[in-house]
């Protein structure tokens, strides 16, 4: 294996080394570490609290993309402003068809931040400091989700046919009907889409799990 790597390291393609053994293994180790950290945050902290699968795919792919982008472009000695620019770009992302809720935006910021930290960590930052930073973020997030904020607000998207109840004046009737039909203690409702041809509405209902 070492002989193969040495052979490949001597080869060039379009003026660049085919493989740099040291940098490649650094990329591999950092990528695995970053994926484990992000995977834990997204799968075991975010998902149990929201039961929302929509953003699992998004968070993991954004993390991988941001990590690779930062790691590879850091090797060409771009300024730190590049990393900060990522926060500005991704921080203002609003999917036009489905705006991201505040909590999801917070987790998006965590995912991007952790990926940038892990990708841009260099020799000036010890492994202990890097490990502590990641564990601190995990610990604070865990504490807020599992210990302090005991009541987790969950949500479901439903198709609702009593379209006459969606007007603001009949909001209390709407909540009462939803509570009766779902058996959930619905606290608030968002109207997602209206279909006047079928007289239906797509609603997102919110309720607390410990009141289920």
* pLDDT the model gives residue 175: 93
**pLDDT score for 96:** 46
- pLDDT at site 152: 66
Residue 212 is classified by DSSP as -
Q: What is the pLDDT of residue 164?
A: 92
For 91, list phi and psi in degrees, rounded to 5: -70, -20
Strands (DSSP E) found in 121-185? 153-160
Per-residue pLDDT of the chain in tens (212 residues, 90 and over written 9): 555 555 555 555 555 566 677 888 899 999 999 999 999 999 999 988 777 788 888 899 999 998 998 888 776 555 556 656 655 665 555 544 456 777 888 898 999 899 989 998 888 889 999 999 999 999 999 998 877 765 667 788 899 999 999 999 999 999 999 999 999 989 999 998 999 888 899 998 988 765 44
* Closest CA relative to residue 201, chosen from 163, 156, 172: 163
pLDDT of residue 212: 40
Q: Give CA 72 to chain center in angstroms.
A: 22
Inter-axis angle of helices 102-120 and 21-40, to 10 degrees?
Answer: 160
Residue 13: both structure tokens together:
């393609």
């Amino acid at each position: 294996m070492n002989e193969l790597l040495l052979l490949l390291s001597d080869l060039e393609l379009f003026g660049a080394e085919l493989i740099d053994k040291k940098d490649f293994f650094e990329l591999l180790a950092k990528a695995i570490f970053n994926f484990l950290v992000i995977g834990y945050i997204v799968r075991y902290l975010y998902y149990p609290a929201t039961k929302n699968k929509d953003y699992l795919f998004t968070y993991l792919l954004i993390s991988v993309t941001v990590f690779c982008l930062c790691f590879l472009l850091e090797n060409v000695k771009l300024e730190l402003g590049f990393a900060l620019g990522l926060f500005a770009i991704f921080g203002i992302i609003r999917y036009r068809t489905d705006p991201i809720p505040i909590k999801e935006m917070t987790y998006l910021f965590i995912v991007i931040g952790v990926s940038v930290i892990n990708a841009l960590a260099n020799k000036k930052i010890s492994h202990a400091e890097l490990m502590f930073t990641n564990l601190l973020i995990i610990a604070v997030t865990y504490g807020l989700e599992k210990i302090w904020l005991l009541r987790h607000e969950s949500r479901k998207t439903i198709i609702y046919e009593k379209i006459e109840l969606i007007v603001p004046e009949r909001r209390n009737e709407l909540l009462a009907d939803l509570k009766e039909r779902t058996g959930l203690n619905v606290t608030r409702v968002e109207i997602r889409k209206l279909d006047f041809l079928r007289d239906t509405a797509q609603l997102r209902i919110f309720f607390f799990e410990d009141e289920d």
